[in-house]
Amino acid sequence: MTSLTVTDFLSDVCDVGEHTLSDYETEVPRWCKGCGDHGVLSTLQRLLLEDQIDPENVVSVSGIGCSSRLPHYLRTYGFHGIHGRALPLSLGVTLARPELRVITVMGDGDCFSIGAGHWLHTLRYNPRMLVLVLDNEVYALTKNQASPTSQKGAVTNTSPYGAYLEGMNPLSVIMGVAGVSFLAQSATWLPLHLEATIRRAWNHNGMAFVRIMQRCPVFMPDLFSGQDAVMRFLQHETGVEVDPLVARRGELVTHDPQDLDAAQKLARVANPMPMGLIYHNPNVPSYGEVRNGRVKKVGSQELISKMDAMLDKYTVQLD
């Protein structure tokens, strides 16, 4: 008769070693009720759970803003950086530890204003990371200032008579940068589409940039309502799946995301908002591949010998 150990018994009645949702949860989020950040967090947690990703193999990085608190609520390695600097921090992580998965979360002001220089150049480098920009067209954490994407006429603390300028269209800017490999857009009020979009981005080998439209329940509760919420859902066998329930919310069009000209035309039109995979070029090498392909890897002994030889140049010989 074979004895049955406790481990054997547990293996028979449950999946020992598999992660549960609690493995990706920390404290209760302190975002406002109705904030779309909750939906983005739960989507990421479900994604990691479905793929059974070990929490220690993921790094979440953010800048400053409401959305940038996400690393506090996702049980992975986290780096809550400074305003506008999430992308260079993320790039450093990907280069130093390429085996780790990096999730970068920013707000519209964080990315498109103070972080604009990093935004454009990181797009050009195409490092392997998932980049989520939560765009509610306002600086909410610092209490209602106009952001680069605020619509003309938006009344905020810094534009009490209405914003004078047309809001920036980040999609058109991105599609003008050489080296872009993945661009998608979704919205927090479309949870099925949001999850499908982030899932599609997660599997991309390069910089997967996803702009996520959302409302601020405190300062912009009526944003993207009525004519401002007209949407155009992009469907293609290589794109983001559009659930029939979601498709009823707007126009459904066929779009090949590998068609650069078509993607640039779509990106230039802010209304109706294109929802789905706008552009995908899987042939763009990631920055890690380019960099590692130009660097000769050496063993530890050879590395020590080379360092000794370099230091010997500065050694003073005493009589």
Say whether pLDDT at 299 is over 80: yes
Return d(Cα 105, Cα 88) in angstroms, integer: 12
What would the mean pLDDT of 158-179 be, rounded to a whole number? 95
**Cα–Cα distance between 145 and 138 in angstroms, integer?**
6
Position 17 confidence tier, pLDDT thresholds 50, 70, 90: low
**Residue 105, strand partner residues:** 62, 132
Residue type, 19: H
Query: What is the reported pTM?
Result: 0.88
What value, to the nearest 5°, has the Cα angle with vertex 178 and ends 173 and 181?
90
Would the pLDDT of 111 be above 80? yes
Give the rounded percent of residues in the chain with a pLDDT score beyond 70. 94
Confidence of residue 293 (pLDDT cuts 50, 70, 90): confident
Whether the pLDDT of residue 220 is over 50: the answer is yes
Q: Which fold has domain 25-292?
A: Rossmann fold (3.40.50)
pLDDT tens, residue by residue, 113-162: 999 999 999 999 999 999 999 999 999 999 999 999 999 999 999 999 99
Residues comprising the chain, all counted: 319
Residue 188: closest CA among 19, 319, 67? 67
**What is the SS3 assignment for the chain?**
CCCCCHHHHHHHHCCCCCCCHHHHECCCCCCCCCCCHHHHHHHHHHHHHHHCCCHHHEEEEECCCCHHHHHHHECCEEEECCCCCHHHHHHHHHHHCCCCEEEEEEEHHHHHHHCHHHHHHHHHHCCCEEEEEEECCCECCCCCECCCCCCCCCCCCCCCCCCCCCCCCHHHHHCCCCCCCEEEEEECCCHHHHHHHHHHHHCCCCEEEEEEECCECCCECCCCCHHHHCEEEEECCCCCCCCHHHHCCCEEEECCCCCHHHHHHHHHCCCCEEEEEEEECCCCCCHHHHHHHCCCCCCHHHHHHHHHHHHHCCCCCCC
Q: What residue type is assigned to position 126 of the chain?
A: N
Give the C-alpha separation, 131 to 151, whole Å: 23
pLDDT at 296 over 90: no
